[in-house]
Amino acid sequence: MDPIDIVTRYSFITNKLRYCGPHDSFLQFLEYIKTKDKKLIPLIKNQITRFEGLYPYLELIAKKHNLDVFDYKVSEAYWIGNELLDVFDESDLKEMIMSLSKRGLPKSYAQKLCEDVPKGMLPHHSFNVIYVGVGKITGAVEFNIENINNCMIRYGEVTKLNKSTAVIKHQPYKFNEGKLVLGNEIIEELEYLPEFNDLKFGEVVSIHWNFVVDKINEKQLNNLKKYTKINVDALHYK
């Protein structure tokens, strides 16, 4: 389990789209994924510290468990979900939100978020997407259901592979009477890089911004479902 591989994989597409992090970091990320060249690690670590939303979450999770920020389990907890998240409460999330106000989140908006943090939410990527709000830190995209689906780490099944795309069966989210719920299953053609994964028909993968990130095993799939659901169920849009 490579701690640099996981953090670069999940950060790759948002940087390529220029939504967060130093411009063109994705080029070094891709090179590392392809070669595992250890000489790239100091540069990549420095680049990750400059990702506006990501790094404060990694710091929070690492500090809580006395782990290195770049420990594999720390990145897995944030992007996919694991047991490291189980010890957090609303006071931790308020601390996180105010940390984000030093990274681009408007301070007045951060203070408003802190006033009503839903009980039970955890510092999983889905918290940043649906409560802090996709695009709210950098202003790169609008906060709407399309971008919630784009940014949320979701799962899907490979039904067909092409040269640079994969046809994936997955469930997008939708709003139903002000609540976020899973919609009907759809089949969609998404961007795919063979350098990232040697995919096969029927495999389960994670998706981020219409990009196939990684194959996930059964435990990771169950954790992704579990921790996303915890945050979605705790949230009530007003």
Q: What is the 3-state secondary structure (H, E, C) of the chain?
A: CCHHHHHHHHHHHHHHCCCCCCCCHHHHHHHHHHHCCHHHHHHHHHHHHCCCCHHHHHHHHHHHHCCCCCCHHHHHHHHCCCHHHHHCCHHHHHHHHHHHCCCCCCHHHHHHHHCCCCCCCCCCHHHHHHHHHCCCCCCCCCCCHHHHHHHCCEEEEEEEECCCEEEEEECCEEEECCEEEECCCEEEEEECCCCCCCCCCCCEEEEECCEEEEECCHHHHHHHHHHHHHHHHHCCCC
Give the mean model confidence (pLDDT) for residues 7-14.
Answer: 97
The pLDDT of 150-165, averaged and rounded, is 95
Q: Which one has a higher pLDDT value, 125 or 141?
A: 125
Summarize the confidence of residues 144-163 as an average pLDDT: 95
Mean pLDDT of the 130-158 span: 93
pLDDT, tens only, 31-48: 999 999 999 999 999 999
Q: What's the pLDDT band for 236 if we cut at 50, 70, 90? A: low
* pLDDT score, position 1: 85
Query: What mean pLDDT do residues 99-107 have?
Result: 92
**Is 70 exceeded by the pLDDT of residue 170?**
yes
Mean pLDDT of all residues in 55-71: 97
Q: Is the pLDDT of residue 238 over 60?
A: no
Mean pLDDT over the full length of the chain: 94
Give the percent of the chain with pLDDT over 70: 99
